[in-house]
Amino acid sequence: MREPTVRTQKIKKDTTRTRLIFFGILALILIICSVFCEYLTPYDPYLQDLKNAKAPPSLSHLFGTDRYGRDMLSRVIVGSKASIFSTLLLVGLVTVLGTMAGVFGGWHGKRIDTVLMRISDMFLAFPGLVFAMAVAGVLGGGLQNAIIALMAISWPKYARIARSETLVQKEAPYLKAARLSGSGTLKIVFKHILPNIIGPILVTSMLDIGTMMMELAGLSFLGLGAKPPTAEWGSRMSDARSLLSSAPWVTLSPGVAIFISVMIFNLLGDTIRDYADPKSRGR
């Protein structure tokens, strides 16, 4: 009975690794295309041609044109830079901020830990997107303020993960030996604690990329995120929502881009989670 089990684990491990490589390549292609988006547009995304306004999708304009005759495919490609890199920046900042808060609270414990956890409870007490809308509205909108608003609602999750993992590591024998050897707090945190807790945190951040992209696009759609002339998919959908009945391709083109990007990053995050699971990798 053991041989089929080992064989099954090996097949599952190879399948997970293949999926990881495949979705990793797709995500990398998406990021590279957003970096060089200006060189990949078939037309000038800002060139107006009123004679060709609201033209339906065709071989010459795969995503059609908007109300000013601008090629929608070119505008979607240009908008990828702001949408994708804003999302990656947001996830990176939230991961660092939440992890540092969780490690700090878990390591020092007592009052500091209690204060940090009660603050995180306050942020978690409100519905996430509603709270983000309120913060973005108070700050006056804009892409930077939307990122700050989403950071405010997202860091407690990472703080709690980092805190729980730090508490586990804090009582480990090797860490007690490090303290007895005279290692300082910074050395212990960066050399011993972070390398041992970074796994689940990175998996969580990868799974959050798609969610953050949707929330950022949602704030922009509501007018609380990116504003013209910043090219961002959510704001593109908001600007063209009045054309949904007469020229739906103008509104749906950025939506298709958001759907594809979120799907790729979500599948990549799921695959990384499966690959990091010891049961899927075998023993």
Q: What tokens appear for 79 in the block?
A: 């908008």
- Answer for the pair 135, 152: CB distance below 8 angstroms, yes or no: yes
Q: What tokens appear for 245 in the block?
A: 């009945």
Sign of CA dihedral 192, 197, 199, 202: negative
In angstroms, the CA 250 to CA 56 distance is 9
Q: What tokens appear for 93 in the block?
A: 């900042």
- Answer for the pair 73, 61: CB distance below 8 angstroms, yes or no: yes
Residue 184, SS3? Answer: coil
pLDDT of residue 283 exceeding 50 = no
169, amino acid identity: Q
In angstroms, the CA 167 to CA 153 distance is 23
Where does the pLDDT of residue 23 fall: very low under 50, low under 70, confident under 90, or very high at 90 and above?
very high
Residue-level pLDDT at 35: 92
Kindly report, residue by residue over 85-141, the tens digit of the pLDDT: 999 999 999 999 999 999 888 888 778 888 888 888 888 888 888 888 888 888 888
Where does the pLDDT of residue 65 fall: very low under 50, low under 70, confident under 90, or very high at 90 and above?
very high
179, amino acid identity: R
pLDDT of residue 144 exceeding 70 = yes
Domain coordinates of the chain in residue numbers?
2-281
Superfamily of domain 2-281: MetI-like (1.10.3720.10)
Cross-strand partners of 71: 65
Q: What tokens appear for 202 in the block?
A: 């990175």
Cross-strand partners of 65: 71
Rg value, the chain, Cα = 23
pTM: 0.86
Residue-level pLDDT at 256: 93
Residue-level pLDDT at 175: 78
In angstroms, the CA 45 to CA 78 distance is 7
Q: What tokens appear for 104 in the block?
A: 């700090």
Closest to 103 in 3D by CA, of 153, 173, 175: 175
Closest to 238 in 3D by CA, of 251, 257, 256: 251
16, amino acid identity: T
